[in-house]
């Protein structure tokens, strides 16, 4: 009872006075002093934290002292103001104050302001509850230990975590103070708890940031600098400087220019120029320079520097240095691998092309010599790949030894070399150069133990006379070399008039090979008319070649090329497909079907699958075969009769109509009418030209028409251009005419508009011919704050206590902020800005009067196509936080990057009333990031390109020999480890040297590309791959294949290449073929992988000896 009486008396201290008013008055100055001291400690708590305990101790001591002073004077009304002062001091405290009994149970609590926390976490406990139970885990132990210390008479402190009632994380700093009775016994414990969440989080973030910076400084191989804009002062440099520069950091601080002593003079000049440019233009820069360290060690450094601040007001520069020595070494190695021939060690074809391009840009005269080893293919087939490679290395070395300084030599591929010789050279000069090269290799080579006499054929082209581009020069030199081989080999030719004409043909043939894939062919359509009524009865489709950069090529020129190269089959099929599909489109558009015919080359009639393919296309588009006429020329008579006649008979059986085109030219004879038995006879323009002027011509045509009618053949007259011609033909009984008189050839769209949209015309059910004739001519970083109109001084309620002071502090902080702060009104549909601070005005160039009551979207200046704008708009609709970086525009039109972070402000009902934020110009950061991304992307693309070049054959696009050698080594180790068999196939193009001699090197390159693509597409497993071994040789490597599977695949590859139908006059089949030698072996532990190559090479030799166009396996 005595303790309860004491506690009750103590807690009523503010209603009783035990001392005289004079004593209290004497204490008031001390009270003010203590309050001031407390305020000082409150300020320092943000840094030292523990001072909170001291403040509370003083406060408790003061409270107790005042209570003692007031005790015994409760009845003196003249002390009422002092009582109110004491109550006010306690009730307005920011802290949660509670009184606990000796068991830790709650006796009483103070009134707590709601300005810092919405829920009264600690004051929600009922009287008598165990206050210590609100803590959990280690915090519970700490609280009870601190409470025990207070019971022992000591002032104790502890810090703990307890979330708010709403689940918001909260950290608290608490202090216990023992309260004693007059006998100095502890009768109760006073506790003060303060919300230190913000301070705790700030300290944690600071610690994390400091740890991160420390880790970066220690573990990242970078050097971070912070200097003045004129680089005269160093504010900070990381410890990486000492490792990179090998100079103590302390030395740098004492002598700010000492770092320059390690930089080469050339690198220092370049670096200083970059520094001056950055300081002048206020833009980030990047520079690379070498560091010259002790012992002759050279390290390369890349430095990225960026000014910090607005243009014109930058105060410092941030720089990052990175050691790129290994990176440059890797890039140099990749560059070497991509530009050096693996066999000879000299430059490769890719390097040659780049070198020629640079020389052409210089516009100084030079000559390009292309040399080819005569009959090297025979040597390769006879001696094998290993010895042939040794021979090529010897030839390359011999030629390189006699070249004078300034010349450039490269191996183009196979047995072909190219030499670039500076200067203007005459025919005599070229002869001397060639004789020097010829002599170097003539008698000095050995193939095994046998001496070999090696000869060269060469072609020479001069810049700019024979070409102004690398491609033109290489083509000219190649044609000249081809002419040298044609003249008997072991000589040279300088590109001239004869070679120029040959080059034109080669260039056209080269372009023709790509015309189909490039979409350069086009069909024109010319109508045919009934002679008597001049009504359109059918259409003829005419092929045209729109050669880029040239005039349209006449069919009379490119059709023979198509036939010579074998491309006529592919193009002919395209014409058939295109023509049939077009008449179907017209039928869908106007409801009328126009019959059509397709010109079929004699070369196509050798293909027994042609009738089936034509019938399939006709069925696909719903066109009857009887509505399609196939035109053939009399050249069919000189083709092998049996095969062509069989195909023609099958086409007739399927219902296609046959027309004999250009009758009256070529091999015209009456016998062809009985042999071919066509359905229609087309009179050539040469027969029709003079029928209205020459009686003999008229008699001849009238006789032919009468003969055709007697044989039940329809007749079409081509080339009708005059009315008088039309009258003669009508009188002679010619039913259908064609020519410029009634209709010219037109594109499909024009033909449809001019003829098919005209009034309907009758279509005859028989004898209708439609022919296709080939031989016609800003950042906003927003953080939540209470909504305050700082300009007017009015505000929403922040806190009852010290509102004026808090508002003034907040106002000053916002107005002085270096970041732009804005507040928008969410209750208005347009969400206008109701406040902006001066920093925002400086940032945008607008005044507050120009901004207030406007939506901030005007800062985008119409630039609304920004992905992150959608995130901002969605966040505003959802009333949520959002962070985005946007392009904004100042009043003067200049763009800057804004990092926008918006946060909502809620009212008591939980509705979003405003959005508030802080805005910051991060243009410099974004530009640096963009530059770094672009630089990294550029470096990655360059690295990827060089890596690709280092393992890829520049001509065919498949892997090169270097990659094959490395993969063979890898696969061999795997084979030894798991006992799995390796299959290696050596592939050689048959008679390829003759092919180059006949068709030229450009055609040879195209052939190799097609063969490589075909071989590459034959294998589907990721572990299988193909490489170009050199020249016209390829190699294929596979794992886990049995001998039977390898035999099947080798045979299939031979058939696949032959089916490409690449014409070759020197081949028994008429097409390019390949020979394959293969070996299937498990690599033994003591066996070298080269044995597998030798085995396959030996099998290849056997295949060629047995007749070529076949495969052969290695037999032990």
Average pLDDT (7-26) is: 37
- Burial per residue of 1040-1054, b for 16 or more beta-carbon CB atoms within 10 angstroms, e otherwise: ebeeeebbebbeebb
Structural domain includes residue 385 = yes
Structural domain includes residue 936 = no
List the catalytic residues.
1032
Whether residues 1037 and 1070 share a domain: the answer is yes
Predicted confidence (pLDDT) at residue 24 exceeds the cutoff of 70: no
Domain count, the chain: 6
Whether residues 237 and 142 share a domain: the answer is no
Of 60-69, 154-163, 1077-1086, minimum mean pLDDT range? 60-69
Structural domain includes residue 508 = no
**What does the pLDDT look like over 458-478, one tens digit per residue?**
999 999 988 889 988 988 898
* CATH number assigned to the domain comprising residue 314: 3.30.450.20
Tokens representing residue 242 in the block = 């000492």
Reported as half-sphere exposure (CB side, CA atoms, 13 A), residue 738 has a value of: 28
Q: Is residue 198 classed exposed, middle or buried when 0-12, 13-18 and 19+ CB atoms within 10 A define those classes?
A: exposed
Average pLDDT (133-160) is: 90
Q: What share of the chain is helix, strand, coil (3-state, %, to 5)?
A: 45, 20, 30
Instruction: Give the distance, in angstroms, between the CA of residue 916 and the centroid of all CA atoms in the same chain.
Output: 39
Whether residues 647 and 707 share a domain: the answer is yes
DSSP 165: T
Domain boundary among 442, 462, 495: 495
| 1008 touches 1103 (CB < 8 A) | no
What kind and span of H or E run contains 1108?
Answer: none
Structural domain includes residue 765 = no
Domain boundary among 894, 928, 962: 928
Whether residues 676 and 791 share a domain: the answer is no
Predicted confidence (pLDDT) at residue 779 exceeds the cutoff of 80: no
Backbone angles phi, psi at 920, to 5 degrees: -140, 135
Whether residues 340 and 318 share a domain: the answer is no
Predicted confidence (pLDDT) at residue 724 exceeds the cutoff of 90: yes
Average pLDDT (912-934) is: 79
Backbone angles phi, psi at 243, to 5 degrees: -70, -40
Strand order in the sheet with 234-237: 234-237, 222-228, 316-323, 298-308, 285-292
DSSP 934-945: HHHHHHHHHHHH
| Strand ranges (E), 879-1014 | 882-889, 895-906, 912-919, 982-989
The reported pLDDT for the residue numbered 92 is 58
Of the pLDDT bands very low, low, confident and very high (cuts 50, 70, 90), residue 789 is very low
**What does the pLDDT look like over 904-918, one tens digit per residue?**
887 777 788 888 877
The reported pLDDT for the residue numbered 668 is 52
Tokens representing residue 229 in the block = 């804009």
Residues comprising the chain, all counted: 1116
**What does the pLDDT look like over 965-978, one tens digit per residue?**
888 888 888 778 77
Predicted confidence (pLDDT) at residue 206 exceeds the cutoff of 80: no
C-alpha 316/C-alpha 227 separation (Å) is 5
Q: In 49-155, where does DSSP find H-type helix?
A: 51-70, 80-91, 137-151
CA-to-CA dists, residue 40 to 33, 36, 45, 51, 810, angstroms? 11, 6, 9, 10, 19
The reported pLDDT for the residue numbered 33 is 31
220 vs 251, higher pLDDT: 251
The reported pLDDT for the residue numbered 136 is 87
- Burial per residue of 292-325, b for 16 or more beta-carbon CB atoms within 10 angstroms, e otherwise: eeeeeeebbbbbbbbbeeeeeebeebbbbbbbbe
Of the pLDDT bands very low, low, confident and very high (cuts 50, 70, 90), residue 1031 is confident
The residues with which 703 forms a beta bridge, in sequence order, are none
Q: Choose among 948, 982, 989: nearest CA to 967.
A: 982
The reported pLDDT for the residue numbered 453 is 77
Whether residues 752 and 817 share a domain: the answer is no
Whether residues 979 and 887 share a domain: the answer is no
Rounded (10°) angle between helices 1090-1105 and 376-383 = 110
Report the relative pairing of strands 982-989 and 156-161 from DSSP bridges.
unpaired
Residue 962 neighbours by CB distance under 10 Å: 18
What percentage of residues in the chain have a pLDDT greater than 70? 79
Q: Work out the mean pLDDT of the chain and round it to a whole number.
A: 79
Average pLDDT (878-890) is: 87
**Of 96-105, 120-129, 1016-1025, 1070-1079, which one has max mean pLDDT?**
1070-1079
C-alpha 1015/C-alpha 176 separation (Å) is 87
For tokens 């099929």, what's the residue? 573
Structural domain includes residue 944 = no
The reported pLDDT for the residue numbered 879 is 84
**What does the pLDDT look like over 632-644, one tens digit per residue?**
887 665 555 567 8
**What does the pLDDT look like over 92-125, one tens digit per residue?**
566 778 888 998 888 877 655 333 333 444 444 4
Domain boundary among 756, 790, 822: 756
- The 3-state secondary structure of 731-781, one letter per residue: HHCCCEECCCCCCCCEEHHHHHHHHHCCCCCCCCCCCCCCCECCCCCCEEE
Whether residues 437 and 530 share a domain: the answer is no
Structural domain includes residue 76 = yes
Whether residues 347 and 472 share a domain: the answer is yes
Report the relative pairing of strands 736-737 and 746-747 from DSSP bridges.
unpaired
Whether residues 594 and 733 share a domain: the answer is yes
Structural domain includes residue 882 = yes
* CATH number assigned to the domain comprising residue 471: 3.30.70.270
The reported pLDDT for the residue numbered 4 is 40
C-alpha 1037/C-alpha 588 separation (Å) is 53
**What does the pLDDT look like over 830-882, one tens digit per residue?**
889 998 888 889 889 998 888 898 888 888 888 888 888 888 888 888 888 88
| 600 touches 630 (CB < 8 A) | yes
The reported pLDDT for the residue numbered 125 is 47
| 18 touches 68 (CB < 8 A) | yes
* CATH number assigned to the domain comprising residue 661: 3.20.20.450
Structural domain includes residue 689 = yes
The reported pLDDT for the residue numbered 57 is 46
Tokens representing residue 1011 in the block = 């063969």
C-alpha 825/C-alpha 907 separation (Å) is 13
Residue 579 neighbours by CB distance under 10 Å: 26
Range of the domain at 242: 220-323
Of the pLDDT bands very low, low, confident and very high (cuts 50, 70, 90), residue 496 is confident
CA-to-CA dists, residue 959 to 4, 952, 1029, angstroms? 96, 4, 9
Radius of gyration of the chain measured on its C-alpha atoms: 48
Whether residues 187 and 41 share a domain: the answer is yes
Predicted confidence (pLDDT) at residue 673 exceeds the cutoff of 70: yes
**What does the pLDDT look like over 340-389, one tens digit per residue?**
888 888 999 889 999 999 999 988 999 999 999 988 877 777 777 788 88
Predicted confidence (pLDDT) at residue 273 exceeds the cutoff of 80: yes
| 1078 touches 986 (CB < 8 A) | yes
Whether residues 843 and 726 share a domain: the answer is no
Predicted confidence (pLDDT) at residue 1068 exceeds the cutoff of 60: yes
Instruction: Give the distance, in angstroms, between the CA of residue 1043 and the centroid of all CA atoms in the same chain.
Output: 43
CA-to-CA dists, residue 619 to 613, 622, 627, angstroms? 10, 5, 12
C-alpha 254/C-alpha 276 separation (Å) is 23
DSSP 432-500: HHHHHHHHHHHS-EEETTEEE---EEEEEEEETTT-SSHHHHHHHHHHHHHHHHHTTSSSEEE--HHHH
The reported pLDDT for the residue numbered 1073 is 95
């Amino acid at each position: 009872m005595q303790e309860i009486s004491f506690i009750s008396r103590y807690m009523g201290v503010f209603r009783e006075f035990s001392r005289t008013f004079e004593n209290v008055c004497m204490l008031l100055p001390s009270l003010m002093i203590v309050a001031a001291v407390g305020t000082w400690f409150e300020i320092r708590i943000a840094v030292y934290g523990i001072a909170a305990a001291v403040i509370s101790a003083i406060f408790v001591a003061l409270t107790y002292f005042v209570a003692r002073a007031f005790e015994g004077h409760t009845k003196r009304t003249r002390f009422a103001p002092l009582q109110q002062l004491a109550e006010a001091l306690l009730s307005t405290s920011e802290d949660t104050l509670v009184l606990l009994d000796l068991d830790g149970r709650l006796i009483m609590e103070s009134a707590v302001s709601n300005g810092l926390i919405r829920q009264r976490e600690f004051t929600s406990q009922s009287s008598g509850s165990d206050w210590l139970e609100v803590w959990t885990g280690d915090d519970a132990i700490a609280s009870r230990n601190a409470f025990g210390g207070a019971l022992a008479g000591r002032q104790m402190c502890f810090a703990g975590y307890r979330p708010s009632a709403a689940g918001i994380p909260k950290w608290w700093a608490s202090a216990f103070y023992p309260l004693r009775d007059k006998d100095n016994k502890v009768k109760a414990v006073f506790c003060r708890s303060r919300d230190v969440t913000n301070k705790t989080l700030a300290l944690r973030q600071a610690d994390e940031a400091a740890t991160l910076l420390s880790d970066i400084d220690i573990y990242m191989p970078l050097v971070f600098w912070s200097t003045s804009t004129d680089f005269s002062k160093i504010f900070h440099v990381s410890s990486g400087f000492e490792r990179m520069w090998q100079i103590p950091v302390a030395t740098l601080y004492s002598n700010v220019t000492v770092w320059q002593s390690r930089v080469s003079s050339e690198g220092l000049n370049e670096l200083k120029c970059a520094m001056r440019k950055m300081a002048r233009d206020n833009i980030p820069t990047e520079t690379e320079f070498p560091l010259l360290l002790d012992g002759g060690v050279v390290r390369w450094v890349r430095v990225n520097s960026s000014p910090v601040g607005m243009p014109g007001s930058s105060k410092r520069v941030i720089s990052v240095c990175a050691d790129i020595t290994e990176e440059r070494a890797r890039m140099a190695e990749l560059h070497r691998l991509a530009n050096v021939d693996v066999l000879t060690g000299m430059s490769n074809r890719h390097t040659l092309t780049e070198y020629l391009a640079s020389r052409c840009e210089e516009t100084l005269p030079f000559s390009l010599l292309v040399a080819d080893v005569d009959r090297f293919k025979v040597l390769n087939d006879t001696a094998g790949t290993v010895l042939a490679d040794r021979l090529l290395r010897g030839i390359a070395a011999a030629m390189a030894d006699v070249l004078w300084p300034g010349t450039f030599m490269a191996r183009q591929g196979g047995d072909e070399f190219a030499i670039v010789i500076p200067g203007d050279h005459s025919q005599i000069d070229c002869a001397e150069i060639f004789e020097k090269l010829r002599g170097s290799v003539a008698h000095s080579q050995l193939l095994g133990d046998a001496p070999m006499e090696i000869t060269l054929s060469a072609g020479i082209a001069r810049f700019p006379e024979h070409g102004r581009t690398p491609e033109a020069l290489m083509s000219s030199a190649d044609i000249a070399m081809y002419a040298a081989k044609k003249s008997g080999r072991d000589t040279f030719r300088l590109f001239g008039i004869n070679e120029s004409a040959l080059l034109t043909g080669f260039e056209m043939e080269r372009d023709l090979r790509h015309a189909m894939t490039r979409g350069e062919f086009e069909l024109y359509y010319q109508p045919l008319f009934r002679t008597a009524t001049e009504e359109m009865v059918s259409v003829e489709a005419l092929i045209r070649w729109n050669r880029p950069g040239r005039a349209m090529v006449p069919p009379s020129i490119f059709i023979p090329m198509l036939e010579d190269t074998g491309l006529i089959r592919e193009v002919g099929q395209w014409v058939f497909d295109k023509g049939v599909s077009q008449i179907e489109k017209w039928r869908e558009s106007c409801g009328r079907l126009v019959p059509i015919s397709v010109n079929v080359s004699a070369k196509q009639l050798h293909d027994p699958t042609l009738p089936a393919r034509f019938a399939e296309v006709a069925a696909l588009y719903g066109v009857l075969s009887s509505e399609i006429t196939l035109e053939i020329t009399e050249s069919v008579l000189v083709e092998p009769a049996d095969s062509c006649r069989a195909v023609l008979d099958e086409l007739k059986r399927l219902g296609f109509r046959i027309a004999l085109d250009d009758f009256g030219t070529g091999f015209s004879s009456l016998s062809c009418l009985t042999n071919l038995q066509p359905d229609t006879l087309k009179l050539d323009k040469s027969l029709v030209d003079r029928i209205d002027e020459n009686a003999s011509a008229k008699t001849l045509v009238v006789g032919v028409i009468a003969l055709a009618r007697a044989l039940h053949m329809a007749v079409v007259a081509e080339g009708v251009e005059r009315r008088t011609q039309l009258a003669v033909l009508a009188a002679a009984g010619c039913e259908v005419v064609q020519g410029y008189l009634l209709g010219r050839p037109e594109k499909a769209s024009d033909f449809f508009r001019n003829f098919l949209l005209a009034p309907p015309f009758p279509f005859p059910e028989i004898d209708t011919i439609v022919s296709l004739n080939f031989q016609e001519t800003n950042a906003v970083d927003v953080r939540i704050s209470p909504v305050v109109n700082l300009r007017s001084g009015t505000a929403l309620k922040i806190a009852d206590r010290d509102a004026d002071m808090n508002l003034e502090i907040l106002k000053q902080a916002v107005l002085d902020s270096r970041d732009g702060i804005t507040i928008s009104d969410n209750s208005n549909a347009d969400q206008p800005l109701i406040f902006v601070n001066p920093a925002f005005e400086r940032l945008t160039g607008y005044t507050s009067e120009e901004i207030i009551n406007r939506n901030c979207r005007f800062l985008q200046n119409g630039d609304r196509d920004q992905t992150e704008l959608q995130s901002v708009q969605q966040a505003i609709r959802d009333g949520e936080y959002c962070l985005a970086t946007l392009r904004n525009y100042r009043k003067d039109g200049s763009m800057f990057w804004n990092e926008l972070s918006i946060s909502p402000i809620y009212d008591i009902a939980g509705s979003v009333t405003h959005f508030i934020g802080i805005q910051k110009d991060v243009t410099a950061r974004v530009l640096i990031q963009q530059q770094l991304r672009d630089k990294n992307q550029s470096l990655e693309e360059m690295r990827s390109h060089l890596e690709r070049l280092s393992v890829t054959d520049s001509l065919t696009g498949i892997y090169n020999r270097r990659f094959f050698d490395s993969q063979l080594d890898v696969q061999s180790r795997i084979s030894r480890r798991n006992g799995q068999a390796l299959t290696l196939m050596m592939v050689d193009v048959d008679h390829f040297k003759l092919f180059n001699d006949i068709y030229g090197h450009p055609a040879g390159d195209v052939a190799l590309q097609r063969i490589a693509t075909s071989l590459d597409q034959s294998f589907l497993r990721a572990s299988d791959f193909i490489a170009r071994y050199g020249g016209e040789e390829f190699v294929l490597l596979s794992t886990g294949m049995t001998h039977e599977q390898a035999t099947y695949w080798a045979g299939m590859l031979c058939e696949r290449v032959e089916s490409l139908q690449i014409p070759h006059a020197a081949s028994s089949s008429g097409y390019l073929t390949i020979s394959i030698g293969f070996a299937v072996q498990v690599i033994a532990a003591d066996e070298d992988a080269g044995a597998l190559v030798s085995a396959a090479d030996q099998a290849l030799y056997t295949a060629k000896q047995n007749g070529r166009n076949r495969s052969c396996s290695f037999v032990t």
